[in-house]
Every structure is written in structure tokens, then in C-alpha cells.
Amino acid sequence: MVHYIGLLLDDSRLEAIKGTGLEEKLTTLFGGQVKQLIMEVPEEVSKKILAEFPNARIDSRSFLEDLPVAFKRALFQEVVNKKSLGAEVIEAVFQKIDEIKDLAAKESEYIPPPDIDTSEI
């Protein structure tokens, strides 16, 4: 069974995928106010993710939820680097899984704020 990971996009993330084929894969939530990319995740990869992050879960829509911020940030960065939502993205993230798990462990004490570009303010 296929599962999914939704990557929510703010303006800076939208800018990062502008001009790529990923723009065509955008979906919207809340009347178009929130945009996201949806990655398909094979069941065996879902099991691997769930094994690495015990707080993660699969919701009723078959989406992997409660993933650490560090994991989702790394995932988005690889999506941008590879300009893809394919399996190679998750494989690249798993090459850095120890570093991501270290960052994720710190999230239980402190959830990092989003990166905000203040140069235009």
C-alpha cells in the first residue's frame, strides 16, 4: 500500500521550486491558501521511516504525520536539489539519517522556528 508525505510550502519554498516541473504537481488546501507537494512513499519505505521516528504515524488518509521538522526540512531540500518527488529523494535523505535523528531528538526540547527571510521587511 502506498502512503504519502505532504510538504507544505510557504513563499520562499514556492520560490525554490519555481520554473521546475514540481510547480505542476502543487496541490492546495484551505481554499487555495496553503500549497503542498505530495510524495508517494512505498509501504516498505514507510515502515523504515516509522522505525526511525517512533512518534510518526500514518493517519486515516494514508499520510505519514508527526514527522520531525528536521526530516521534513531535509526532505524538501532534496526535492529541490533533485527536482523530483521520486524514491531517490528519500534515499538521499536516508544517507543523512543519523544527523537528522540528532536534530530531531532536540526537537522534543525545542521546536525550531521557521526560517523567515526578513530582508524585504
DSSP string, 67-79: --HHHHHHHHHHH
15: cell is 520560490
Give the residue, 27 or 110, on which the prediction is more confident.
27
29: cell is 488546501
- What average pLDDT does this structure show over 69-81? 94
- Name the nearest CA neighbour of 56 among 96, 89, 86, 101: 101
Which DSSP letter does residue 115 get? P
- CA dist list (Å): 81 to 21, 49, 66, 69, 106: 13, 21, 24, 18, 25
pLDDT value at 111 more than 90: no
pLDDT value at 71 more than 90: yes
> What band does 35 get if pLDDT is binned at 50, 70 and 90?
very high
> What band does 68 get if pLDDT is binned at 50, 70 and 90?
very high
Predicted model pTM: 0.83
- Name the nearest CA neighbour of 74 among 88, 55, 94, 56: 94
Q: Which of 25-29, 35-39, 116-120 has the lowest mean pLDDT?
A: 116-120
Per-residue pLDDT at 32: 79
